[in-house]
Structure 1
Amino acid sequence: MERLEQTNQPTILQNKAIIWGLILTITLIWGYAWVLMKQSLNYMGPFTFSSFRFGTGALTLLIVVWIIRLGLPPKRYIKHLILIGLLQTTIVFTLVMFALMFVDAGKSSVLLYSMPLWSSLLAVKFLGEHLTRWKIAGLLSGMIGLLTILGWDIWLGQSLEVIVGEILIIISAVSWAVANIYYRLNVSHLPKIQSSAFQMLFGVLGIFIATLIMESGQPIDVNSVSLYYILFTGVLASALCFTVWYIIMNTVDMVTATISTLLVPMFGLILSSLLLNEQLTIGVTTGSALILLGIVLSQITFKSS
């Protein structure tokens, strides 16, 4: 895979305009996917949709792995990929999709993408990274942002279901962060596409089990619209975009890549407001801005640090 990426880079990915065009396209697709995830609940249960989405995504990624001849990961990595799959796919997207029944799509995207804040905090403990004053400022800004969103809903007398849903999404963000740290410690030597394909495969098995337990026998409305939601989020947003994203990450630094992901909740908020008529309250707007600011501060390294 590395030879393939190195061969393509001089002709395709050395042009900054092309790179940023791809980044904007991918993050826009990921932001739009939140709208479709929310709308999919009109046609099937949250776990059922996740089963279809990540089953399709895993199959597509496995085909990519087969095409570029990566093969199966070494046996010593299997247990690690199973755990990452449970943390990053099963837990995150069962909780997120369940929470989307009560929480707006735009707000959900912001809460889930607080993940870099939790990753920064965990990296200090488990990766030995230094907690600079900028990271401390970023963590404080992000935490205040989370409390602003949650607190604003409490002050407005929001329903208990919404508050619980928001907490579940924050738990999902923490689970995603734990998966990232665990990946760095145990699986970082594997090609990213290979590890993503197999963690998604193991993760979707967990989602299948949750679907059988929670939604067995529930009606599923499969039509052109719901099929579009599944294929868009599964093939395009989950598999193909991740494949291109991993190649892009080999051409840009990690700070740029991480900051670029901030476009996802921004697009999620904007598109959810335009397409789902979700209201951007003062609490959501202020809290989102504080979280985004916190992620920027916690990820950028200043020489004076």
Structure 2
Amino acid sequence: MSEASLADAAGRRPAESSRIFAFLLMAFIWGAGWLPTKLAMEVLPPIFFACLRFSFAALGFLVLARLRGFTLRVEQPGRVLAASMLITTACYALVFWGLAQAPSGLAAVVNLGLIPIFLIGIGAAYRQEPITPLRVAAIILGLAGLSLLFSSRLGTGGEGGQAAIGLAAVALGTFAYAWGTVISRPLVRVTPPVVLAFWQSGLGTLGLIPISLAVEGWDPARFAALPDPRVLQGLAVMVGGGSLIAFPIFLMLLRDWGAFRAGLYAFVSPVIAVLIGYAFAGERIDMAEAVGMAVTLAATALALGRPRRTTT
């Protein structure tokens, strides 16, 4: 290896380390948001809660963009609109509705397991992602780990055809999320992540509002429930952490890593969520779940690794 190549490799290592740290921070924040979100949705309907979350997030992103002196102008506004409707509107409407119809554990496996599959498949269709044996092996390993992780909840809730329709909605919402993520990559290369996040949160909310009204109806009493500590905590975690911190990290990783590697949080966040449930909600972890956590983390480590290049 030449001296120039050695210097270039040495320069890339710190940058890659910082990206891995950012990835772990993002996965931790989104995993930590599961319990507060679950508690908040004991008070408010899920799509209504999503409307609140992304409305506040859009305002937060607007403030951050202005403070940093960014213009809100974007390239390819049609693509921005399409990505917003897919990532925020279609994903949250379909996945939340499906979760209410199907067993929660099985729905989680379908959602999280399909994220890397759809990301690499759609990414390959757009010529953004290579499908390699290593990545396929990581996906299979991750699916096995998720199945073990949620094994105790695979059969609880939902029944018959209703559950099947719910799982289909979860799968379709996951597909929408993956598609929106892939078509966002060219956008984030020319648009600051905080600006793109503003548009995707704001436009996505405009799409969610009529869906919430159609599916969940209108009840002014919901606004009276906003001071409930569960709602405030859920919004604080998911707006302050999940949106304002984690989502721009995701867009940055999408730009630098591609959709598949950035989407590997789907194998890490559920581990964080289970551990937080164990530490703060008195939830138990059995042997199958412990093994599942180890397997999903191993799948993530396998997929995050880059093949070594041989240079002469």
1:94 to 2:93 alignment: yes
> Which AA in structure 1 matches 2:190?
H
CA spacing shift, 1:169–1:223, aligned 2, 3 Å:
same
Aligned to 1:231: 236
Report the counterpart of residue 50 of structure 1 in structure 2: 50
Provide the TM-score with structure 1 as the length reference.
0.74
Partner of 1:222: 226
SS at match of 1:196: helix
In 1, the alpha carbon distance for the partners of 2:105 and 2:43 equals 16
8 A contact 2:115–2:178 mirrored in 1: yes
Q: Point out the more displaced range, 89-98 or 204-213.
A: 89-98
Distance in 2, Cα, partners of 1:61 & 1:119: 25
Distance 1:280 1:107 in 2: 19
Letter matched to residue 206 of structure 2: L
- What is the distance in 2 between the residues matched to 1:162 and 1:288? 26
Q: Which amino acid in the other structure matches residue 41 of structure 1?
A: M
CA distance 1:244–1:204, change in 2 (3 Å): same
**Whole-Å separation in 1 of the counterparts to 2:138 and 2:198:** 32
Return closer, same or farther for 1:278/1:207 CA change in 2, 3 Å cut-off. Answer: farther
CA shift, 1:15, in A, is: 10
Instruction: Quickly say closer, same or farther: Cα 1:278–1:230, change in 2 above 3 A.
Output: same
Amino acid at match of 2:244: A
Q: Distance in 1 between the 2:117 and 2:265 partners?
A: 15
How much does 1:54 deviate?
0.7
The 1:171–1:298 alpha-carbon spacing in structure 2 relative to 1, beyond 3 Å, is farther
Equivalent in the alignment of 1:211: 212
- Over 3 Å counting, the alpha-carbon distance change for 1:256 and 1:126 in structure 2 is closer
Secondary structure at the aligned position of 1:131 is classed as coil
Q: What per-residue deviation string (whole Å, max 9, x for no partner) do you get for residues 128-161 of structure 1?
A: 643222122223334555677899867x576326
Partner in structure 1 of residue 83 of structure 2: 84
| Aligned pairs (5 A) from 1:196-275 | 196-218=197-219, 219-220=221-222, 221-225=225-229, 226-243=231-248, 249=253, 262-275=267-280
The answer to whether the 8 A contact 1:148-1:286 is kept is yes
Q: Which amino acid aligns with 2:276?
A: L
Name whichever of 285-294 and 184-193 sits farther off. 285-294
Range with greater deviation from structure 2 (233-242 or 83-92): 233-242
Give the letter aligned to residue 93 of structure 1: Y
Unaligned runs of 5+ in 1: 1-13
Q: Give the whole-Å Cα distance in 2 for the aligned partners of 1:46 and 1:194.
A: 26
1:170 Cα deviation (Å)? 3.7
The question of whether the paired residues in 2 share the 8 Å contact of 1:34 and 1:268 is answered with: yes
The aligned counterpart of 1:31 is 31
> What is the distance in 1 between the residues matched to 2:181 and 2:90?
14
CA distance in 1 between counterparts of 2:29 and 2:149 reads 25
With structure 2 as the length reference, what TM-score do the two structures score?
A: 0.73
Query: How do 1:1-305 and structure 2 match up within 5 A?
Result: 25-74=25-74, 76-101=75-100, 104=104, 108=108, 111-112=111-112, 114-127=114-127, 129-144=129-144, 159-160=158-159, 165-185=166-186, 188-218=189-219, 219-220=221-222, 221-225=225-229, 226-243=231-248, 249=253, 262-278=267-283, 280=285, 291-303=296-308
Q: In structure 1, how many angstroms separate the alpha carbons of the residues matched to 2:24 and 2:239?
A: 19
Unaligned stretches of 5+ residues in structure 2: 1-13
Cα distance in 2, alignment partners of residues 176 and 233 from structure 1 = 18
Residues in 1 aligned to 2:146 and 2:108: alpha-carbon distance in whole angstroms: 11
CA distances 1:110-144 after superposition (whole Å, capped 9, x unpaired): 94375233212222222164322212222333455
Return the alpha-carbon distance in structure 2 between the equivalents of residues 302 and 182 of structure 1. Answer: 25
Q: Would you say how many aligned residue pairs link Structure 1 and Structure 2?
A: 289
- 3-state DSSP of counterpart to 1:49: helix
Deviation at 1:273? 3.8
Percent identity between matched residues is 17
SS in 2 for 1:69: coil
* Contact 1:134 1:297 (8 Å CA) reproduced: yes
Q: 1:45-102 CA distances to partner (integer Å, 9 max, x unpaired)?
A: 111111111100111011111221222224x521111111111111222233334546
Cα root mean square deviation, aligned: 4.1
Larger deviation, residues 175-184 vs 217-226: 217-226
The 2-side partners of 1:85 and 1:243 are apart by 14
1:204 to partner: Cα distance: 0.9
Which whole-Å CA distance do the structure 2 matches of 1:208 and 1:169 have between them? 19
The one-character-per-residue Cα deviations of 1:2-28 (angstroms, maximum 9, x if unpaired) are: xxxxxxxxxxxx799998776655433
State the alpha-carbon separation in 1 of the partners of residues 284 and 104 from structure 2.
9
- Cα distance in 2 for partners of 1:181, 1:304 equals 26
